[in-house]
Structure 1
Amino acid sequence: MDARVREHAEIIADHSTGIESGDDVVIQLPTEAEDLAVALHEVCGDRGANPVYLNYSKRADRAFKRAADGFEEPAHRRALYEETDVFVIARGGANVTEDADVAPETNAAYNRAMEDVKRERLSKTWCLTGYPTPAQAQLAGMSTEAYENFVWDAVSLDWDAQREFQAQLVDILNDADEVRIRSGDDTDVTMRIAGNEALNDHGEANLPGGEVFTAPVRDSVQGEVHFDLPLYRYGREIDGVRLRFEDGRVVSHSAERNEELLTGILDTDEGSRYLGELGIGMNRQIDRFTYNMLFDEKMGDTVHMAVGSAYPETVGEGNETNESAEHVDMIVDMSEDSTIEVDGEVVQRDGTFVFEDGFR
């Protein structure tokens, strides 16, 4: 086993989740990440925790969705989640397009049925991470070895130093009322964040971390956004997304590729047409786009916004929490001809923050 796999498991256990004696731990990984499952079981044994291994298969998931006439909340899965202390989930797999032929309306119905179960999981200590596989390497346009190095370099960052770096932006946003994001000629959007909390993602719930994120005030988003980096969702690429917001709601949308899939996401429920998250990427170790949102949204020089559910911990008392069965992140490249303004003051220009060398 590659020594970096054991290091990955130890970072998950010690930094991301704080696994300790007596914890009941669910480890949900694809077959391709079995080495990480083995390492996590060793770590759980070392710490006196109790692991349960769930082998996640996109092939099986696809088969179920395509065969079922409808979906109900799985009570046995909810019971497992209610009794679990820590969840570790890894993305990976042999085929990144495995579920490309599942209809958008089927995914929407499944997500609605799973909404309360997912909420139960998110109420616990959890870590979502990535495992390098040949399929992900191919999607990123990299050799398997180069992609492995990319993933493990991003995971094994100095997270204390990253937390301190990002804390500077957290302080700015937590005193703010309004954020304006402009990029090129096609993106100019404003949103209020007053009363909501900016959180410092330094490799805990997401590994790798490397962003500062918050929730917009639900009805405050105004303007247009061109998400000029693509995303993979349900096994298909969505590219060239444009959204126009009025009073928080997406009132018009388009995409250059797979627009019908975007439409299906936005039509999942009422909350899927509102923003649940504004995130600002700050991880300079992630220096290239790889079609893996867990990594791509953390890149420096980027902003991402998610239609759908808000993380409750980012929503302040008195503000409405946007609820949805979806949470879909989309990215804006902020490296050129771009600014982030907070209450009228530019805090980032062309990817460089006001507290970094080179800000002009």
Structure 2
Amino acid sequence: MDPRIREHAEIIANHSVDLGEGDNVVVDAHPVAEDLVVALHEVIGEKGANPITTSQRTGKRQQRAYLRATDDDFETPEHELALIENTDVYIAIRASDNVTQTSDVDPETSAAYQQAHQPILEERLGTRWCLTQFPAPANAQLAEMSTEGYENFVWDAVNKDWDEQRDHQANMVEIMDPADEIRIVSGDTTDVTMSIAGNPTINDHGENNLPGGEVFTAPQPDSVEGEVLFDMPLYHQGREITDVYLEFEGGEVVSHSAAKNEETLTEVLNTDEGARRLGELGIGMNRDIDQFTYNMLFDEKMGDTVHMAVGRAYDGTVGEGNEQNDSAAHVDMIVDMSEESFIEVDGEVVQRDGTFVFEDGFEA
């Protein structure tokens, strides 16, 4: 086994979820990630914890078969909920043998299934959880990389000094945490403002998401105004969506379009009332993620990007007394900030063309 896999498992256990003796652990993984699952079980055994492995969340082939065979009258599966209610640590490993496996599932069916599983998502987010990636060949193919090249890319981004990354990102947290308003401008296609007053900024340094490499917060739901062109594509429900355009008034999406698979975007926005509002603003800061790979877990952390998510706001990003946007959806989309772009915080430019005010080469 590649020693980097064991290192990956140890970072998950020791840094991301603080695994302890007696913890009940669910490892949710596609079978193609078996080597990382095996390494995790070794570490879990050494820690004296109790593992169980499922492929409920990431086993797309059986999910496709189920969703194509059933009707849309879903109820929350109580046995699955009971499993998570008795779980201390939840580890989800992304990996695939076919990244478009669910592309022929009706988007309305996928949205209804997601809504029924919302209570399970809420319960998972109450555990010590981590979402990570195993470098499977299908993911390498999607990234247009060799298998070896993709392995190097993933482990360079994951197996790193997370204390150093935390300290780098703390510079941006210090700027955003006390701020009232943020403006994002990119070219002549994106100019959007939002209030983040009273909402904490989170320093993501490889705990819940591995790799980490962003700082993020929640906008005040009714405050978002302007337009955004998300010029980097995304995969959702096995479909590629490109050139997503959203126009906001009073915090709500009032107009939208996409160059490809617009109907999938429409179904996301129609998931529920909260899906038409922003639940997250994130700033990418991981310089070891230096190329786009069609994988949001990595792409949203790139150092010259901003991402916004329609749908659910995470609990830790909403200040006491502030409104939290609630939704069964949480879909991240990315703006390239490397050229003709800037981030403005309370009227001061803090990033221009991908370079932060606290980095060498920043031009005011």
TM-score (norm 2): 0.98
Find the aligned partners of 1:162 and 1:234 in 2 and give their Cα distance.
31
Find the aligned partners of 1:79 and 1:278 in 2 and give their Cα distance.
32
Q: Deviations over 1:153-174 (max 9, x none)?
A: 1001210000000001001111
Residue correspondences, number: 360
Find the aligned partners of 1:153 and 1:20 in 2 and give their Cα distance.
26
**Could you tell me which of 54, 63, 66 is aligned with 1:64?**
66
User: 1:183 matched to which residue of 2?
Assistant: 186
Q: Deviations over 1:281-304 (max 9, x none)?
A: 000000000000000000010000
Find the aligned partners of 2:203 and 2:69 in 1 and give their Cα distance.
41
Find the aligned partners of 2:11 and 2:111 in 1 and give their Cα distance.
34
Find the aligned partners of 2:81 and 2:144 in 1 and give their Cα distance.
38
User: What are the residue-to-residue correspondences of 1:50-199 with 2, within 5 Å?
Assistant: 50-55=50-55, 56-69=58-71, 70-199=73-202
Which letter maps to 2:197? A
Find the aligned partners of 2:98 and 2:23 in 1 and give their Cα distance.
33
Task: Provide runs of 4+ in structure 1 moved above 6 Å.
Answer: none
Shift of 1:116: 1.1
**Could you tell me which of 230, 234, 252 is aligned with 2:233?**
230
Find the aligned partners of 1:139 and 1:186 in 2 and give their Cα distance.
27
Which letter maps to 2:256? H
User: 2:2 matched to which residue of 1?
Assistant: 2
Find the aligned partners of 2:242 and 2:89 in 1 and give their Cα distance.
35
Q: Deviations over 1:226-261 (max 9, x none)?
A: 000000111110001100000100000000011011
User: 1:207 matched to which residue of 2?
Assistant: 210
Find the aligned partners of 1:30 and 1:304 in 2 and give their Cα distance.
27
Find the aligned partners of 1:311 and 1:317 in 2 and give their Cα distance.
13
Which letter maps to 1:238? I
Which letter maps to 1:67? A
Find the aligned partners of 2:60 and 2:263 in 1 and give their Cα distance.
22
**Could you tell me which of 313, 333, 338 is aligned with 1:335?**
338
Which letter maps to 2:78? A
Find the aligned partners of 1:116 and 1:192 in 2 and give their Cα distance.
29
User: 2:324 matched to which residue of 1?
Assistant: 321
Shift of 1:20: 0.9
**Does the residue aligned with 2:232 lie in a helix, a strand or coil?**
coil
User: 2:354 matched to which residue of 1?
Assistant: 351
Q: Which moved more, 1:49-58 or 1:264-273?
A: 49-58
Find the aligned partners of 1:109 and 1:317 in 2 and give their Cα distance.
31
User: What are the residue-to-residue correspondences of 1:283-294 with 2, within 5 Å?
Assistant: 283-294=286-297
User: 1:23 matched to which residue of 2?
Assistant: 23
**Could you tell me which of 276, 281, 285 is aligned with 1:282?**
285
Shift of 1:117: 1.1
User: 1:261 matched to which residue of 2?
Assistant: 264
Find the aligned partners of 1:337 and 1:157 in 2 and give their Cα distance.
31
